[in-house]
Structure 1
Amino acid sequence: MPVTVKSRYLGNLRVENTHLQSGTKIITDAPVDNRGKGESFSPTDLLATSLGCCITTIMGIVAEDHGIDIEGTEVEITKMMSESPRKVKEVVVEFFFPPKVYSEKEKQIIEGVAGTSPVPLSLSSELKQTIRFYW
Structure 2
Amino acid sequence: MPTVKTSYLGDLRTESIHLQSGSQLVTDAPTDNMGKGEAFSPTDLLATATGTCMLTTMAIVAQRDGIELAGSSAEVTKIMSQTPPRKVARLEINLQLKTNIVLTEEQIKKLENTAHKCPVSLSLHPEVEQVVSFEWI
* Cα distance between partner residues in 1 of 2:71 and 2:106: 20
Q: Which runs of 4+ in 1 moved over 4 A?
A: none
Residue segments in structure 2 that go unaligned for 5+ positions in a row: none
What is the percentage of aligned positions where both structures have the same residue? 49
Which residue number corresponds to residue 122 of structure 1? 123
Which residue number corresponds to residue 75 of structure 1? 74
2:39 partner amino acid: S
Which residue number corresponds to residue 56 of structure 1? 55
Which residue number corresponds to residue 95 of structure 1? 95
Which residue number corresponds to residue 44 of structure 2? 45
* Cα distance between partner residues in 1 of 2:113 and 2:119: 15
SS in 2 for 1:59: helix
Residue segments in structure 1 that go unaligned for 5+ positions in a row: none
Distance 1:7 1:51, change over 3 A: same
112-121 or 6-15, which deviates more: 112-121
Q: How far 1:31 sits from its partner (Å)?
A: 0.4
Correspondence 1:4 to 2:3: yes
* Cα distance between partner residues in 1 of 2:117 and 2:13: 32
Q: How far 1:99 sits from its partner (Å)?
A: 7.0
106-115 or 28-37, which deviates more: 106-115
Distance 1:121 1:99, change over 3 A: closer
Root mean square deviation of aligned Cα: 1.2
Asked whether the equivalents of residues 18 and 25 of structure 1 are also in contact (C-alpha less than 8 Å), the reply is: yes
What TM-score results when the alignment is normalised by the length of structure 2?
0.93
* Cα distance between partner residues in 2 of 1:99 and 1:62: 13
Count residues in correspondence: 134
What TM-score results when the alignment is normalised by the length of structure 1?
0.94
106-115 or 33-42, which deviates more: 106-115
